[in-house]
Amino acid sequence: MPARRTVASVKILCELGVRLGSGLSSLLTGSSILPAQLDDPHLEIDPDQELQVIHNLVRLHGKVPGLGLMAGSEYHLTTYGIWGYALITSPTFRQAVELGLRYLDLTFAFSKVELMQANGIASIVLSVDHLPPAVRTFVAERDSSAIQVLQRELFGLSLPLHGMEFAFPLTGELAQYEIMFGCTPQFCAELNRASFDEQWLSLPLPKANETSSKFCEVQLETLLSRRRQRGGVSAWLRNKLLADISSSPSLEQIATDHFMTERTLRRRLTGEGTSFRDLLAEVRQTMAEELLSSTGLSVSEVSARLGYSSPSAFIHAFQKWHGCSPRQFLDTGSKQVKGN
């Protein structure tokens, strides 16, 4: 099962889209990610949610020259957290590459990445054939340029490439690619591939620390295991409800929209120790507190936003959660603020 990932990459993609003239709502459409969640460093999402944002970005700005290169240039070693630090402290470039590939699921890459060696030449090969055709070029550009940025930051300079190949036609200005990769790429090639002298793999890294590297690898293993466990239907459904709570979608409607039966979806939720009713109540409670506390909306307006049939139904549910009415909840919060 693919590991979940932080929302950091989606934030990068959205910031790029906003700079190009799109609104956040258009960029996040269908992802079940709320604009306010982009600043949560602890939020973890499913890869499909980020892929939806990529679809949106490409749909809105796919004609922008070198769109993938622009995105990839924003991914730095610090973007990846402990994975990036593990690369920095690796003894050699080879060990950094091998460790990076071993824990590739902890990055934001959608490409399948492989290190190949033959006749004194090493190659980083990126495959995107498993992805929808509409996003393959963007992903290949983004992931290859992100790798180039990482390599520069590991050494403080760009290692010379023997060649850069892309399995698609030129989509931007040739100079953009030459600046990024330090050479003139070949387009419409057989593979997406960056090739360099094999000897560079033996180079020691400037900040190598074997003790720190081993510690990082233990942390990476733990993190990967945890993120894989956190995936599942309940997390996905919670995000769907957060994004579409006002329409109060039924379990049957959600199941039909995603080509499964209601019985199958219900069974999977039971297997994860929860139910649609519990998830809906959890999401409504969280959203109710946020909307009442920070938006200035009336009780009736919050009730409508959360998909309740009437304000009285919302008030009744709120009293079950907090033991008080929404108005009393607001009054208590106001007094606490004044008291501080």
CA gyration radius for the chain?
A: 24
The H or E element containing residue 124 is: strand 121-127
Q: What is the CATH number of domain 233-339?
A: 1.10.10.60
Q: How far apart are alpha carbons 68 and 54 in whole angstroms? A: 10
Q: How far apart are alpha carbons 55 and 30 in whole angstroms? A: 10
The H or E element containing residue 42 is: none
How high is the pLDDT of residue 48?
A: 84
Instruction: Tokens 């892929």: give the residue.
Output: 51
How high is the pLDDT of residue 226?
A: 80
Q: In the structure encoding, which two tokens stand for residue 138, read together? A: 């963007």
How high is the pLDDT of residue 230?
A: 59
Residues of the chain with CATH 3.90.1520: 5-227
Reading the chain (340 residues) residue by residue, the pLDDT tens digits are 568 899 999 999 999 999 999 999 999 988 878 898 899 888 888 888 899 999 999 999 999 999 999 999 999 999 999 999 999 999 999 999 999 999 999 999 999 999 999 999 999 999 999 999 999 999 999 999 999 999 999 998 888 999 999 999 998 899 999 999 999 999 999 999 999 999 999 999 999 998 999 999 999 999 988 887 655 677 778 777 877 777 778 888 888 776 678 888 888 788 777 889 888 888 888 788 778 877 778 888 888 888 888 999 999 999 988 888 888 887 765 444 344 4
Q: Are 106 and 223 within 8 A, CB to CB?
A: yes
Q: What type of residue is 41?
A: P
- Alpha carbon 93 to chain centroid, angstroms: 26
How high is the pLDDT of residue 338?
A: 42
How high is the pLDDT of residue 335?
A: 42
Q: How far apart are alpha carbons 126 and 143 in whole angstroms? A: 8
Q: What is the CATH number of domain 5-227?
A: 3.90.1520
Q: How far apart are alpha carbons 141 and 127 in whole angstroms? A: 11
Q: How far apart are alpha carbons 62 and 141 in whole angstroms? A: 12
How high is the pLDDT of residue 4?
A: 85
Residues of the chain with CATH 1.10.10.60: 233-339
How high is the pLDDT of residue 231?
A: 59
How high is the pLDDT of residue 43?
A: 84
How high is the pLDDT of residue 328?
A: 85
Instruction: Tokens 């590459």: give the residue.
Output: 97
Paired residues of 127 in beta bridges: 112
Helices 210-229 and 93-102 pack at an angle, to 10 degrees, of 10
